[in-house]
Every structure is written in C-alpha cells, then in structure tokens.
C-alpha cells in the first residue's frame, strides 16, 4: 500500500537484500571474505541499533561497545563457566545490556547533547575497566577463553558458511524490526523529536519514554551482536570492547547516514570494504601497510563528512529518486531542487 508523502518500508529492497545475502557465499568462496562478511554482519547489528539511537532519538553514544561487551561476556560466563546452553543464555545476553541501558537511561534522562555523549563515554570506560578488573568472573585482561560453539539440532555451527548464515539471519531480523519501528507512528514521533522536542511533546509524544525505549533496544541489539561474537570465537577479551570500537560503530553510522536504517547497514559494509581494499592494495604494494589503512580510513571519514554530510545512503537514494521521478513531472524535480 503506497501512501504518498510518507516514509514507508520498501519490502522489495529487503527481499533483494536477503537474496544477495543468500547467494553471496556461492559467488565469493574464499574463507577470508566470508569471515569478513560474518564480522560485518555482527557489526551491522550494532550499527543499526546505534543508527536508530542517533538518527531517530537524536542521541549520540560513545560507549556502545559496553553493551556489546556485556552481551558477549554474559553469554561467555553463563555457558563456559556455568555450563548453560548458549540458546538459553541468549535472552539473558539481551536482557543484561537492556537492563543496564534502562538504568543508565533513567539516570541520564536529565542530560543532553555532548553531556549525554560524555555519560555514554563514561559508561563505556567503566564497563571496560570492570571487564579487566573483575578477574574472578571475566578472567581479566588476558581474556575469557573456552567459550563453547553453538549447536543446532546436533549440528555444530562452525566458523565459515554456517556462522555466516546464522549471523545474517539475525541481521535481517534486526533490519526488519528496525524498519518497522522507523516507519510506524513511533518512528514518526521519533523523527519529530529530532526537529523539535518541545513541539512533539505537546503533540502528546512522550519523548523521554521513546528515547529510553530506543536506547534499550540499541543496547539489546549490541548485546545480540556480543552473543554472536562470543560463540563464534573461542576467546574474547576486553580489548574488543574499547572506546575505539565504540568510535568505529559511530563511524559506520555516520558514513552510511544516520537518518536511515539502511544507512547504518551500508556504512558497516563500506568500512569493511575499506579494510579489504587496503589489504588487497597491500598485497600489490608492500609499502601499503596497516598504518596506511588508518590513513586511508581517516581520509574516507573526512571526505564523506565533507562531501556527503548526510551520509552515503540518503544522498545516493536521493539521486536514485531524482532519476526515477525525472520523467514523471517537472514539478517534483523543482521540489527536489528546492530541498538542496
């Protein structure tokens, strides 16, 4: 059902995307790319949640890695130390980050802007410190090891194609969930908060409730990613859940475009791609080392913000729209132009 003038989910897009996911391992068979794609999926889940938080609740989080880490450590402790089944620990790995977000969100509701960013940064650092110091539970800085693999119907989900499908299965679920939220009345309400919080509250939108819900949801997404990451790896360590990781997630969202769910996904893939391209260049030209990767990575961040301030996806989507509407009417072209 097409409602003109209203943002709606393009189910066609989701379908095409899902198909692409499905056939990817048949086209690209190298294990290297498959691992890359699996990691990309894990990060995409975090980025989509963070994108909701940034683009729709208008909040920045400099500590998303904390929730990711809590998800990963929760399931690691429950399965490796306490012997639970990973499937039973999955809800707990979502619950804990969500709960923390709830408590944090509750106390942080008085903060805004950079002060809120500071609070999330603090959260990230506190959680990281606890992961390092609470050695009795987390086994400290050298990391938690011996995390069991996932089993499904007696079949072990190994790294490689099985894990790739598992991860992307969850990505698609998260994607659909998020698209639904964004294109519902709640999403609309959230977008309105972005433009004028005061006006939306006088429309009866309970802004702090929605912000809180999104914060919790994004934390749970990160927790899910943590769960996936833990059971893929034999060991995890606090080093994966640092400020740098939080920044990386942020960069993914901004690159892709924080105003859209697809943007976060695209941004994630893009960042992975940069890594791969530099890796390949490195094989051709030995002087391109990983140091160079950072230089190029920094460069790309700079260029995107300067030339595509809204991020990659919305800009490209607009070009696309413009192309499509070109023939339909001159009027809409003018409208588009006026937007610029």
140-169 binders of another protein (CB under 8 A):
140-143, 145-147, 149, 158-160
246 binds another protein (CB under 8 A): no
> CA-CA distance, 200 to 269, in Å (whole number)?
34
Q: Which is nearer to another protein, 305 or 316 (CB)?
A: 305
Among 279, 315, 316, 325, binds another protein (CB under 8 A): 279
Site for another protein in 285-314 (CB under 8 A): 286, 288-295, 297-302, 305-306, 309, 311
Contacts of 174 (CB under 8 A, 6+ apart): 44, 45, 48, 49, 221, 224
Stretch that binds another protein, among 15-23, 66-74, 85-93, 138-146 (CB under 8 A): 138-146
Q: Which is nearer to another protein, 96 or 267 (CB)?
A: 267
13 binds another protein (CB under 8 A): no
For residue 22, the minimal CB distance to another protein (Å) is 20
315 binds another protein (CB under 8 A): no
Q: Which is nearer to another protein, 96 or 221 (CB)?
A: 221
> CA-CA distance, 38 to 18, in Å (whole number)?
15
Compute the half-sphere exposure of residue 201: CA atoms within 13 Å on the CB side of its CA: 8
Q: Which is nearer to another protein, 85 or 142 (CB)?
A: 142
Site for another protein in 106-135 (CB under 8 A): 107, 110-115, 118-119, 121-123, 125-126, 128-130, 132-133, 135
Cβ(51)–Cβ(261) below 8 Å: yes
Would you tell me how many other CB atoms lie within 10 Å of the CB of residue 44? 29
Site for another protein in 178-217 (CB under 8 A): 178, 180-181, 184-186, 188-189, 191-192, 194-196, 198-207, 210, 213-214, 217
81 binds another protein (CB under 8 A): no
> CA-CA distance, 85 to 96, in Å (whole number)?
17
Among 74, 75, 76, 233, binds another protein (CB under 8 A): 233
328 binds another protein (CB under 8 A): no
* Residue 172 burial by Cβ neighbours in a 10 Å radius (0-12, 13-18, 19+): middle
Site for another protein in 25-64 (CB under 8 A): 30-32, 34-36, 39, 54, 60
Cβ(149)–Cβ(158) below 8 Å: yes
> CA-CA distance, 330 to 334, in Å (whole number)?
6
Closest CA to 260 of 330, 167, 334, 190: 190
Contacts of 221 (CB under 8 A, 6+ apart): 45, 46, 48, 49, 174
Among 7, 85, 151, 329, binds another protein (CB under 8 A): 7
């Amino acid at each position: 059902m097409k409602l003109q003038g209203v943002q709606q989910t393009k189910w066609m897009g989701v379908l095409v995307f899902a198909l692409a996911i499905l056939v990817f391992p048949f086209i690209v068979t190298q294990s290297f790319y498959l691992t890359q794609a699996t990691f990309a999926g894990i990060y995409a889940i975090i980025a989509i949640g963070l994108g909701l938080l940034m683009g729709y609740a208008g909040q920045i989080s400099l500590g998303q890695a904390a929730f990711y880490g809590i998800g990963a450590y929760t399931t690691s402790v429950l399965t490796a130390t306490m012997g639970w089944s990973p499937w039973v620990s999955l809800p707990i790995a979502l619950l804990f980050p969500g709960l923390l977000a709830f408590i944090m969100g509750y106390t942080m509701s008085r903060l805004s802007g950079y002060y809120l960013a500071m609070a999330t940064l603090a959260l990230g650092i506190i959680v990281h410190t606890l992961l390092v110091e609470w050695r009795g539970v987390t086994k400290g800085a050298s990391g938690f090891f011996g995390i069991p693999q996932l089993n499904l119907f007696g079949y072990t989900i190994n790294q490689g194609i099985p894990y790739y499908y598992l991860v992307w299965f969850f990505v698609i679920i998260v994607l659909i969930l998020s698209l639904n939220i964004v294109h519902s009345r709640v999403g609309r309400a959230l977008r309105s908060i972005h433009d004028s919080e005061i006006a939306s509250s006088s429309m009866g939108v309970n802004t702090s409730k929605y912000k809180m819900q999104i914060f919790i949801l994004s934390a749970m997404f990160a927790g899910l990613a943590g769960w996936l990451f833990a059971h893929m790896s034999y060991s995890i360590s606090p080093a994966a859940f640092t400020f740098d990781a939080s920044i990386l997630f942020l960069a993914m969202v901004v690159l892709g475009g924080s105003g859209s769910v697809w943007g976060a996904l695209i941004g994630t893939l893009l960042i992975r791609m940069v890594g791969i391209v530099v890796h390949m260049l490195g094989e051709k030209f030995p002087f391109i080392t990983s140091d160079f990767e950072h230089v190029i990575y920094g460069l790309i961040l700079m260029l995107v913000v300067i030339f595509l301030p809204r991020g990659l996806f919305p800009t490209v989507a607009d070009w696309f729209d413009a192309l499509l509407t070109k023939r339909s009417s001159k009027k809409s072209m003018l409208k588009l132009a006026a937007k610029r």
